[in-house]
């Protein structure tokens, strides 16, 4: 049996208590479990982290987005209230660069309100340091907490880290893929005992014809639909 981190020890405890969990739930816990989750407990960015995003490479990325936001504001009739929202804002670098570019348009810059949707307390502190001195900025745990109104929404490399579902095709149909414990109590993949009813009806013909053992992966559209609804309204 391999030695586990505190994160995986906690997930192992949950599996022992409740049984195998879907891949999406395992991924969700790995990312967002209080105290130990990957996107809760650390700053994953930069040379000392695990990856680097475009805003950390060049300020031009955020500045161009800021100018684009200004054009959207003008095209929307220059509303007196305008929200600049960022989902998963990292260290605040992109927002800082975007706001620098927006200074060329004082009527917008002086009235804009900034909303940062961030669950990581470590990154929140870094964002506050990056955006120090900025008035009218608020942090939120969820996009649903951001007040409604005319907005531009930034989501750089945000959707690709959200939990995914996996389905395995077997003779009996498409079964949800799960994470379980093997005989030595190590993590292992398995499948739900029963196929998901009607799942095949939702698939395009090419996927329906997939061979046995094929894995189909998808991400629910809840987040996208919440944003689309906000923009529509």
Give the pairing of strands 151-154 and 112-117: unpaired
Give the pairing of strands 21-22 and 165-170: unpaired
pTM: 0.81
pLDDT at 101: 94
pLDDT at 225: 92
Structure tokens at 189: 């993949």
Mean pLDDT in residue range 88-113? 92
Q: Is the pLDDT of residue 4 over 70?
A: no
What pLDDT digit, counting tens, does each position of 7-47 carry? 888 899 999 999 999 999 999 998 888 777 777 777 777 67
Mean pLDDT in residue range 188-204? 93
pLDDT at 232: 87
DSSP annotation of 144 reads G
> What is the rounded CA–CA span in Å between residue 216 and residue 177?
10
- How large a percentage of the chain has pLDDT more than 90? 60
For the chain, give the number of residues. Answer: 233
pLDDT at 46: 67
pLDDT at 220: 84
Domain boundaries, given as residue ranges, for the chain = 6-41+163-220, 54-156
pLDDT at 16: 93
Mean pLDDT in residue range 169-196? 94
pLDDT at 233: 83
Structure tokens at 91: 């260290």
Structure tokens at 45: 């960015």
Mean pLDDT in residue range 46-70? 85
Residue with tokens 């475009």: 54
Domain 54-156 indexed as CATH 3.40.640.10:
no
For residues 136 and 1, the model is more confident at 136
Q: What is the mean pLDDT of the chain?
A: 89
Taking a C-beta distance cutoff of 8 angstroms, is the pair 29, 37 a contact? Answer: yes
């Amino acid at each position: 049996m391999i030695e586990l981190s505190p994160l995986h020890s906690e997930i192992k405890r949950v599996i022992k208590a409740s049984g195998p969990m879907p891949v999406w739930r395992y991924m969700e816990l790995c990312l967002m479990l209080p105290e130990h989750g990957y996107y809760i407990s650390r700053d994953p960015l930069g040379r000392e982290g695990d990856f680097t995003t475009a805003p950390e490479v060049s300020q031009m990325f955020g500045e161009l987005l800021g100018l684009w936001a200004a054009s959207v504001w003008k095209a929307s009739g220059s509303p007196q209230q305008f929200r600049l929202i960022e989902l998963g804002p990292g260290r605040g670098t992109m927002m800082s660069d975007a706001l620098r570019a927006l200074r060329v348009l004082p009527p917008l810059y002086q009235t804009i309100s900034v909303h940062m949707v961030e669950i990581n307390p470590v990154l929140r502190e870094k964002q506050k340091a990056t955006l120090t001195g900025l008035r009218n900025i608020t942090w939120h745990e969820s996009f649903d907490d951001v007040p409604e109104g005319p907005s531009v929404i930034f989501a750089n490399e945000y959707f690709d880290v959200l939990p995914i579902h996996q389905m395995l095709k077997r003779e009996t149909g498409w079964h949800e893929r799960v994470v379980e414990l093997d005989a030595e109590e190590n993590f292992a993949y398995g499948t739900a005992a029963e196929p998901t009813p009607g799942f095949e009806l939702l698939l395009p013909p090419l996927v329906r014809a997939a061979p046995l053992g094929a894995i189909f992966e998808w991400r629910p559209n809840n987040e996208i639909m919440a944003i689309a609804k906000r923009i529509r309204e």
